[in-house]
């Protein structure tokens, strides 16, 4: 069935991973290349997104709404919103980044990746492993080789926290 | 194994400074493979060049080499660079820089290319520039100039060190230029002899922009005042080519080259001629930028700086870089201080950057992972294999320029 209409506006349902449904105007999701394609080409009115947590989806919809309201006069306000948007714990920011990558919202993806990069740049190796959920496959001997090879990369106050 | 898609990890990592990346190579084998891959190194370099506030250092060459963080330029401290050619006697020269690599030299036999971010260093084999022996029926006389330079060959994705010696003929008015080019990818010096109707007027190192090294040259041998031309040595073809001047350059007293935001730049210093005044004091300096390389019409006068009052007056200005915001240009004044020129307000202000050095030359250097065995591409990895494949370049004497290519194999053996 084609998407239902109320006046001119088409309505779309997004189903998050926790079975929560979000009903919103179709025009909002067009910033997502993936959703745009599904809506325009396949003419669907309900899209299941089981890999994206509802919490993450709420954040992304919040961004899409703000972005749709963006005009030359509220640019500053939008910039502040963006700053606040990425001001969440790293784990959540990564969830958002992965979801945005899946949905192909290019401008936001770039912004999120830069935010993650800025947050991890002074992290220790251990912290980065935890953040990216990676187990080391190097032996302790190999690891100490790295430290000998480029000692300055391991100098300074490195941050062991993961948030 | 991480559940984060590799393309996301890639997209995050290539925004990081070199120091973080060298540390994160230790995270896992897949991280190391990604960070070491030529594709990643290129993406990282591109990202660095694009962003204003990335991992950029301002490097000072005084008696020693120093560096300063460009993103926090007025607050950060000067750090001495512990480079591999450091020695207690005399200064180390910087003959060029490109993509985060710098060419350093103590003397003719002690040269090398260094990446200050990764600390990788490659010493160059000694290169002797001899007059050409069999260059036509004419005899070749004295050496007139030796210049050098360092840059990137776009076509071969290779970094090249250039040494140029110019010899005069006994008869006739033409000159012979011997160009020695060291390819980092191939690991050898290549010699090329060509007739060149232009005299290189200064012993300057070539200014690298758009895949070519540039010099100002004269069309006559003796006169400083003969019309100057701008010539570029393309690092792919290794040939000289005329590069157009701006239309309304005027008649400058000084003319110098620089690079600003990857564009070739002309600095022209003008005087107002007053009678009974022997000392020329600059009246103003124009900074020209060629926005679209090789296109005469694309030269624009970016800005003009009026002489400062009284004791503050400058005799030389050189643009160094755009500011982090892109709205200002950092100018080096008389090798001893910095000025900021605001493109919006069209005004100058003194900079707070203080290295505590009396006399220096400065340039910006990107933080990159560019390796020294190649151009950071897929071809650079099997250096040894590449060396075995070398064949001398074919002669193709286009126009009236004669070429003579010789691979300097002895030098290359010495290196092994």
pLDDT above 80 (res B207): yes
Q: Which of B5, B6, B7, B8 to mutate to test the interface with A (most CBs of A within 10 A)?
A: B8
Minimal CA separation from A128 to chain B, in Å:
7
Closest CA of chain A from B5, distance in Å:
7
Q: Which residues of B touch A120 (CB under 8 A)?
A: 12, 16, 20
- pLDDT(B393) > 90: no
* Partner residue facing B23 (CB), from A109, A113, A154: A154
Give the one of A109, A113, A129 whose C-beta lies nearest to B27's C-beta: A129
Size of interface A-B (CB pairs under 8 A): 78
Name the burial class of residue A48, with classes exposed (0-12), middle (13-18) and buried (19+) by CB atoms within 10 angstroms of its CB.
middle
- Interface residue of B9, B11, B23, B69 to substitute, partner A, most A CBs within 10 Å: B23
Backbone angles phi, psi at B29, to 5 degrees: -65, -35
**Rounded distance, CA B416 to CA B125, Å?**
9
Please give the residue of chain A at the shortest CA–CA distance from B7: A101
Mean pLDDT computed over B4-25:
95
Measured CA to CA, the distance from residue B218 to residue B210 in angstroms comes to 22
For chain A, say whether B4 makes contact (Cβ under 8 Å).
yes
Query: How many other C-beta atoms lie within 10 A of the C-beta of residue B323?
Result: 17
By CB atoms closer than 10 A (0-12, 13-18, 19+), residue A105 is buried
Q: Are residues B379 and B386 in contact, defined by beta-carbon separation less than 8 angstroms?
A: yes
Which H helix or E strand runs over A109?
helix A106-120
Give contacts of B12 with chain A, Cβ < 8 Å: 97, 113, 116-117, 120
- Residue B21 confidence (pLDDT): 96
- What span, in angstroms and rounded, lies between the C-alpha atoms of B175 and B142? 10
- Compare B416 and B154 and report the one with higher pLDDT: B154
How far is residue A145's CA from residue B32's CA, in Å, rounded to a whole number? 13
Task: From chain A, pick out residues whose CB is under 8 angstroms from the CB of B9.
Answer: 132
Cα separation, A29 vs B220, in Å, equals 67
What pLDDT shows up at residue A64? 94
**Per-residue CA distances from B284 to B310, B349, B361, B405 (Å):** 14, 16, 21, 45
| pLDDT digits (tens), chain A, 163 positions | 444 444 567 889 999 888 899 999 999 999 999 999 998 888 888 999 999 999 999 999 999 999 999 999 999 999 999 999 999 999 999 999 999 999 999 999 999 999 999 999 999 999 999 999 999 999 999 999 999 989 989 988 899 888 8
Question: How many Å apart are CA B244 and CA B166, to the nearest integer?
Answer: 22
**Helix (H, G, I), strand (E, B), or coil: what is residue B102?**
strand
CA–CA distance, B409 with B416 (Å, rounded to integer) = 11
A77: part of which helix (H) or strand (E)?
helix A75-85
Categorise residue B176: left if φ over 0, alpha if ψ from -120 to 50, beta otherwise.
beta
Q: What is the pLDDT of residues B27-38, one digit of tens each?
A: 999 999 999 999
DSSP B64: S
pLDDT at B403 over 70: no
Which chain A residue's Cα is nearest to B51?
A114
Q: What pLDDT band is residue B209 in, cutting at 50, 70 and 90? A: very high
ipTM: 0.92
Among B233, B235, B175, which Cα is nearest to B199's? B175
Q: Which residue of B has its CA nearest to A127?
A: B27
Closest chain A CA to residue B116:
A152
Cα–Cα distances in angstroms (integers) from residue B136 to residues B167, B193, B194, B206, B221, in the given order: 14, 11, 11, 28, 21
Of B4, B15, B30, the CB nearest to A98: B4
**Complete DSSP assignment for B3-31:** -S-HHHHHHHHTTS-HHHHHHHTTS-HHH
Full-model pTM: 0.84
Nearest CA in chain A to B10: A113
Q: What's the confidence (pLDDT) of residue B384?
A: 37
- Residues A136 and B29: their CA atoms lie apart, in Å, by 8
Q: Tell me which residue of B27, B182, B140, B20 sits closest to A126, measured CA to CA.
A: B27
Ramachandran angles phi, psi of B105, nearest 5°: -155, 135
Average pLDDT for B351-358:
79
CA distance, residue A13 to nearest chain B CA (Å): 26
Asked whether residue B164 carries a pLDDT value surpassing 80, the answer given is yes
Rg of chain B on CA atoms, in Å: 22
CB-closest option in B4, B16, B22 to A121: B16
**Which conformational region is residue A133 in: left (phi greater than 0), alpha (psi within -120 to 50 degrees), or beta?**
left
Q: Please provide residue B109's backbone torsions phi and psi, each rounded to the nearest 5 degrees.
A: -105, 0
User: Going from the N-terminus, what domains does chain A have, and what CATH number goes with each?
Assistant: 11-120 (3.30.710.10), 125-154 (no CATH)
- Yes or no, beta carbons of B17 and A94 under 8 Å apart: no
């Amino acid at each position: 069935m084609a998407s239902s209409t109320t006046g001119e506006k088409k309505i779309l349902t997004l189903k998050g991973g926790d079975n929560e449904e979000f009903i919103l105007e179709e025009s909002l999701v067009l910033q997502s290349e993936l959703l745009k394609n599904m809506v325009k080409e396949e003419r669907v009115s309900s899209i299941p997104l089981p890999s994206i947590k509802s919490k993450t989806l709420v954040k992304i919809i919040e961004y899409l709404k703000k972005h749709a309201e963006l005009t030359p006069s509220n640019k500053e306000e939008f910039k502040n919103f963006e700053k606040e948007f990425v001001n969440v714990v790293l784990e959540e920011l990564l969830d958002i980044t992965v979801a945005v990558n899946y949905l192909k919202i290019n401008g936001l993806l770039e912004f999120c990746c830069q935010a993650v990069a800025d947050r991890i740049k002074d992290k220790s190796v251990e912290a980065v492993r935890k953040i990216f959920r990676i187990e080391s496959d190097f032996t302790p001997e190999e690891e100490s080789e790295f430290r000998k090879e480029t000692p300055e990369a391991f100098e300074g106050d490195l941050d062991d926290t993961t948030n | 194994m991480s559940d984060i898609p590799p393309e996301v990890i890639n997209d995050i990592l290539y925004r990081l400074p070199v120091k973080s990346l060298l540390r994160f190579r230790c995270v896992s084998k897949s991280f190391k493979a990604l960070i070491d891959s030529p594709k990643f190194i290129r993406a990282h370099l591109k990202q660095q060049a694009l962003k204003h506030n990335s991992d950029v250092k301002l490097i000072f060459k005084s008696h020693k080499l120093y560096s300063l963080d460009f993103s926090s330029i007025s607050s950060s401290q000067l750090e001495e660079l512990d480079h591999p050619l450091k020695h207690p006697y005399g200064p180390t020269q910087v003959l060029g820089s490109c993509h985060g690599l710098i060419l350093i030299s103590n003397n003719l036999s002690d040269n090398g290319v260094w990446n200050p971010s990764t600390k990788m260093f490659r010493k160059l084999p000694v290169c002797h520039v001899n007059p050409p022996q069999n260059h036509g029926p004419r005899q070749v006389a004295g050496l007139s100039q030796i210049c050098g330079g360092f840059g990137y060959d776009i076509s071969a994705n290779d970094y090249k060190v250039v040494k140029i010696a110019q010899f005069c003929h006994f008869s006739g008015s033409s000159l012979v230029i011997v160009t020695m080019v060291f390819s980092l990818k191939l690991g050898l010096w290549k010699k090329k002899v060509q007739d060149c109707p232009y005299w290189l007027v200064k012993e300057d190192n070539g200014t690298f922009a758009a895949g070519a090294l540039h010099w100002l040259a004269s069309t006559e041998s003796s006169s400083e005042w003969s019309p100057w031309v701008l010539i570029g040595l393309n690092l792919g073809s290794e040939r000289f080519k005329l590069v157009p001047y701006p239309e309304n350059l005027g008649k400058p007293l000084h003319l110098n080259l620089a690079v600003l935001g990857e564009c070739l730049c002309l600095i022209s210093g003008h005087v107002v001629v007053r009678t009974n005044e022997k000392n020329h004091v600059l009246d103003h300096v124009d900074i020209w930028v060629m926005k679209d390389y090789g296109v005469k019409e694309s030269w624009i006068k970016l800005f003009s700086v009026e002489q400062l009052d009284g004791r503050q007056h400058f005799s030389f200005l050189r643009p160094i870089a755009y500011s982090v915001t892109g709205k200002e240009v950092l100018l080096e004044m008389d090798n001893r201080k910095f000025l900021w020129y605001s493109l919006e307000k069209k005004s100058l202000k003194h900079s707070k950057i203080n290295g505590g050095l009396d006399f220096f030359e400065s340039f910006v250097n990107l933080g990159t992972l560019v390796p020294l065995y190649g151009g950071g591409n897929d071809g650079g990895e099997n250096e040894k294999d590449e060396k075995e494949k070398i064949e001398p370049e074919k002669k193709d004497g286009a126009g009236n320029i004669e070429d003579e290519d010789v691979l300097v194999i002895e030098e290359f053996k010495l290196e092994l």
